[in-house]
Structure 1
């Protein structure tokens, strides 16, 4: 895991949506952990894909990269890699620093 937090530059018009955004991301993270426990690779691929698209769409490039990693590991049915990437996502959500554009 990275030692220093990532800094993401987000459009200022999204500022009021971020509390809800992070709440949903944390819910999805728990769903990922549950799916991993149950070896539900289809759900993991879907959730990884969602994290990739949503993260990138909001400007969270690091989340987009991790979501892609989760999706790919799920498609490869690699539980050890999935667990590592899910842990990376948890760390990212806990430490990401947001700077607003505009």
Structure 2
């Protein structure tokens, strides 16, 4: 049984098309590198920089098989556009948790 993403600390298993196997690790590494950049931008109240990175996440997540990243990106972009620092911080925490817990399983596209 796959643990639910709602269970704290439980792995989040995501099945991704095996054709994406060569590029998914780099994609996820890039999202991990975005985190400190967005936290630094938030610290200096550069909401435009956060919104730009969030917009890219929103647009790319689904294409790589990570709808959760697209969803977090959409919420993050909206919060940044509203200059809502607490909501931006919450979204960044959610992204960090997701990236720490994700386990990618490659399989054929359905």
Fold in common (TM above 0.5): yes
Alignment partners' CA distance in 1, 2:77 and 2:11? 23
Instruction: Determine whether 1:34 maps to 2:40.
Output: yes
| Structure 1 residue 23 displacement after superposition | 1.6
Among 52, 58, 70, the alignment partner of 2:76 is 70
Alignment partners' CA distance in 2, 1:6 and 1:74? 26
Partners of 2:72 and 2:94 within 8 A in 1: yes
Among 25, 32, 42, the alignment partner of 2:31 is 25
Alignment partners' CA distance in 2, 1:2 and 1:41? 28
TM-align CA RMSD:
1.4
Q: Which has the larger radius of gyration?
A: 2
Partners of 1:8 and 1:61 within 8 A in 2: no
Unmatched 5+ stretches in structure 2: none
Unmatched 5+ stretches in structure 1: none
Q: What is the TM-score when the length of structure 2 is the normalising length? A: 0.85
Measured against aligned partners, the alpha-carbon deviations of 1:55-84 in whole angstroms (never above 9, x if no partner) come to: 111010111110111000001110000000
Alignment partners' CA distance in 2, 1:2 and 1:43? 29
Q: What is the TM-score when the length of structure 1 is the normalising length? A: 0.91
Q: Which residue does the alignment assign to 1:58?
A: 64
Q: Hey, which bits of structure 1, 4+ residues long, moved more than 3 A? A: none
Alignment partners' CA distance in 2, 1:65 and 1:6? 15
Q: Which residue does the alignment assign to 1:13?
A: 19
Alignment partners' CA distance in 2, 1:70 and 1:77? 10
